[in-house]
Structure 1
Amino acid sequence: MPPVKVILKRIARSPALLTAILYALPWVVLVILGVLWLAEHDWLLPFVAITLGLVLLLRLSLLLLKHLRQTQSAAPVDADPAPIVTANPEWSARELAVFNSLCTEIAREPRPWGDMRQLSFDLVEKAAQQLSAGQKGALDFSIPEALLLADRVMIRLRRNLHDMVPFSDRISLKTILWIWENKAWVQRGATVVGWAWRAKRMITNPPAAIMQEIQGAVTSSADGGEMKNFSLALVQQIILEEVARAAVDLHSGYLRFTDEELLNIELGSADFDKQILAQPNEPIRLLVIGQVSAGKSTIVNRLAGGEVAETDMAPTTPDLTRHALDIDGIAYSVIDTQGIDGSEKVAETLLAQVLDCDQVLWILRANRPARAPDVALLRQIEAAFAARPLRRMPPVTIVANAVDQLLPDWPFPEHLLPREAQATIAAASAAICADLTCREAIPVVSEGAVWNLDQLISTVAHSASDALATQRNRRRSTGAEASATFSQEMSRGASGLWETGRLVTGKLFGR
């Protein structure tokens, strides 16, 4: 393929390039027409002369600014400037004098970073010598003193980092490490983005873009190198003054708990005592589960002794509905759930509710043999509790509802069931127990001529003791999980603090 066709084909595949060309084309045409207009009116040579004059004037201005800055830098400065780092207000006059003398020995010009370790060690050594009349050296301090000092310094550095560096609490160390390892590519990307922004600014607002370019050129040419050196010297000065402050604190005996810290320790102990107090029982959280139109809301009404839940042949509980009931003298918080439909979303919702409940009432229709969704959900629940050995599984009461639909002669006089009806109900209950692997399925009739609801209420109330034990276990386990998470985070923080202290000590003292 000829080179021209290759180029055209690549251009056609690059919408960004075509967009840039379309943006630049009007300006190119405008420049060409402007040059032709200037030539036609014999203003081309004056325009060129004025342009060269402005460039020369700009260059002379840059040279003048550079000369003025060099003159200012050569001017004598205060021989004893004030330290940047604030002193400890508890210091005596002698300790403050030692700190000021150490700060005056810190040079105000940039130096190689490799020299910072020796300079820091010299500051600590001088502080020890001056504060102890020559009896102590730089490393004459105990491990608890070093750890307490590291704790104080880390807290102050963390506060300064949070206050001075935006989004520092949202940037992970992994991101910072990646940027450092790919700093060349990051710098190139920043350069490309900068040029793209300048091009966009030139296209959208040429006059303002030209003025900003001139301002940037003046600033960067006049004080770019000087500002870089000034910033480097300032950072190094702050670091060395922090070392001097820490050295004076270390060797003057200010490493002790303050009254505020002691008060916080006492308050922390009191808070812990409050947390471990026995908590009163809450109403038992009874979760009602079943397929769509299994009769959940109807049975909730029967447990309440009145119409508290809407009932219909269509699904009537699209989400969770809570009812505060009193069942056989026991306070219950009954949660009527949406029907099991075999979907993963509903199964996840119900599983989360089971993990947060104390007792389960599982409703199945005796005349509905399709129990695969119930079996699947029950297996998920059992697996979830098996994965949480510290959690106690709530007691589950299985109900075989609508057994009257299996008996064509229902209702029977005084509910005296003949042997054939008893055998039919027993077979239906056994089939449900075989599918769900349960010991008992209580047969009931919740609509029309209700039957066996007293047995259901008695069974639910009989499981109240197990439900309360499940409630206490759930609350204790949830607190233990939260405490374990907090302990893990504290352990990670302590490990990070120890590693940071080790690295800092190695950098400062070469050990």
Structure 2
Amino acid sequence: MKRIVGPRRLLWAAAMALGALPFAALVPLGLAWLWQREELGVWLVGGSACFVAAGVLFRRAARPLSGANGSGNGSGNEASDDTPPEAEWTPADKIAWQRVQGFARRASGAMLMDQHSLMAVAGAVMEDVARHYWPDRTEAVWHFTLPEALLLAERVAERTRTLTVEAVPGSRSIRLDNVMRLYRAKQSVAAAAGMFSGPWRIGRMTINPVQALAAELNQRVRGFAAAGLSSLMLDRIARIVIEEIGREAINLYSGRLRADLDELAGLQPAAVAPSAAGPLPLRIMVGGKVNAGKSSLVNALCGEVVAAVDVLPVGDGATSHAVGGTGDRPELELIDCAGLDREAAIPKLTEIAQACDLILWAAAANDGARDLDRRLLDAVRAHFAAHPSLKAPPVLVALSHIDRLRPFTEWTPPYDIAAPSGRKAEAIRGAVDATAEALGVGPDDVVPVRLDAGALYNVDALWAAVAARLDEARQGQLIRLLRLAGKGGGISEVARQAVRGGRLLTGLVIDGIVGKK
């Protein structure tokens, strides 16, 4: 921003002063008018009553925050004031956030006035979150790497700068030396005002005792109301500070700072590397029993197979198909599992599911035997429940072979299963509800489709269902990639870092020798 210097600064100051003068004059003119009508005392009494009521309300509003008991459980009102956890967090993260909320409920604005109290509370929050994630570590609070700490500092600095630029008036133009000059001037003015306050109050009492008493009462009441407002605001600010400390502690100790978003792109397999202008492709596991139409489902989604390579260490039978995004359809990587016909496939299934962002399960509408499907899906759910640091991918069911439902000879799509009017539509609706109940998913998670080549039906609805789950799948993808980033630091990486560090040190030494010459 261009600075105003010289005579132009005086012109700007004069213009602003003249513009504010009419409004500033309203205060003394209004007081003079009340004085002439002998109603100044009435105004002071009425204003005092308003300030008393405001102070009582402010103190009552602040009481639930400052009156929490030491256990941190709080009352129902306090629980309702809790800030909800982030949607993308894992179950372990949400438990950590509940512990942070216990500190937030006990937060008091007084700690903001004492640096030692603030640092003690911040340290307690950090240590509690660290021990939640790493209970077996003796020094859990230090269980992070230097790059993670630097990324945390970078994130906090960036967010602070953004908040300052957007919300602090004049932050781009006001220099800190001017702020310090104004602060010193304020201290001088406050000291002078304190010297003349006593004589002024004595003189006012001598001239008009009644109005002087009303003014004293008004000043005391305004101080009472301001104290209530100040206490409420400070308690709120203290709670926000504790929550921000807890949020960053969760990011640090959960491993979310192992890599930034730019570094995560390098963790995808080369066969499905993202385009330069798009997000990382979602990895979808396509599973189901033998003869459920799984291969036809993959072909229907792919349209044209861009790549087909084994990219996951899951044994024979699992292949990856890279599908380019078009229009509103996202870029995908379909992990095509072999047909599952027994529970012995559960270890392989859970391993693939842990490496994917969404599960697309093929189930035949004309096959009522769902026991194996349910056991396989329950095994996946149990795996994620046993690992709260993971986020379970959403499950979407493609109900295939709907054309083979009764009546067998009827096939006149489209069918409105929301309000079925014919026998075929009623049969499809019944199959959707039965499949949802049998597999433990919601009816909206089951999409009826026909996947025969040349006679595809309702595949667009399946794409729409995938798109509706993109946000949840992206959240799981981020956690998955961060776990991959946490597996770095092996011997080969350390060796590369040592080589690069040696070259850098050698270059600095050579530059120093050349510089001395």
Interval containing the TM-score (normalised by the shorter chain): 0.3 to 0.5
Bigger Rg over Cα: 1
- TM-score by structure 2 length? 0.37
- TM-score by structure 1 length? 0.38
